[in-house]
Amino acid sequence: MRILLLLIVTGLLLAWRMLPGGDAPKPALKPASVTQTRNNMAALEEAQAAGLLIEDTHRHELRQAVLEAGRRVGAAPCDDAAKEQLRRALDALLGHLRDTMDKAVETVAIDGRVIDASPVLNAAARAVWQDAAAAGIMRADVMPVVPARAGAPRMRPVAAGSGPYACRIG
C-alpha cells in the first residue's frame, strides 16, 4: 500500500511540473542601446587591462599570424612575399570570423551581463587589416566580409596606396 501511495504522489508531482503556465514569461531580447554599447566597450577595455579576457586559442593564433605578417610588411613594405603572407593571414582570420559570427566564441560576464569580447580582442588585428586595405594589399571586395558589431571600432576611410604598408620607392 505504501508503494502504491508513493507512486501516486510521485506521478502527481511529475504531472504538476509538466503543466504549462507555471513559469514566468521570459522577456524578449532587445537590441543594446548606444549607451549600453559604450558601457560594454568600456567594461571590456577595463577587463582586458586587468587581464580578465580569455582568447579563443584558434582565434589567438590567427590574430598573432596577422600581427606578425603586419610587422614583416611594415619592415619591408615593397616585399611582395610579405604582402602575400599578410593577405593569406588576413583571409584566414576574416574567414574564421565570418564563419563564427553567429556564435558566442569569446565572451565575458561583467555585472551579470554576458558581453562579446571579440571587438576588443580584434582591435590590433583590425588596425593591421585597415593598414593593409589602405596600402591596397587587400582586395576591395574583402572589406565588408565581417560587418562591424555594435560598439566595434569602425573602419576609417583611407586613400588607396597610403598608410604604413604602402610601398614608396625613391
Could you tell me which of 85, 112, 97 has the C-alpha nearest to residue 152? 97
Could you tell me which of 151, 150, 105, 148 has the C-alpha nearest to residue 130? 148
Bridge partners of 115, per DSSP, are: 108
Report the helix count and the strand count for the chain, using DSSP H and E: 6, 2
**Residue 110: strand, helix, or coil:** strand
How does pLDDT run along the chain (170 residues), one tens digit per residue?
A: 777 667 777 776 666 566 655 555 544 545 667 777 788 888 888 888 888 888 999 999 999 999 999 999 999 999 999 999 999 999 999 999 999 988 888 988 888 888 889 989 999 999 999 999 888 887 655 554 444 444 444 444 445 567 888 887 75
Q: Would you say the pTM of this structure is higher than 0.75? A: no
* Three-state helix/strand/coil letters over 138-156: CCHHHCCCCCCCCCCCCCC
Q: What is the pLDDT of residue 69?
A: 97
Task: Match 593591421 to its residue by C-alpha cell.
Answer: 128
Measured CA to CA, the distance from residue 3 to residue 37 in angstroms comes to 58
Q: What is the pLDDT of residue 12?
A: 66
Query: Where are the extended beta strands (E) located within the chain?
Result: 107-110, 113-116
Measured between alpha carbons, how far is residue 138 from residues 37, 92, 109, 130 in Å?
29, 13, 35, 9
Given a contact cutoff of 8 angstroms between Cβ atoms, the answer to whether 83 and 166 are in contact is no
Q: What is the pLDDT of residue 68?
A: 98
Considering Cα of 89, then 91, then 92, then 93, what sign does the dihedral take? Answer: positive
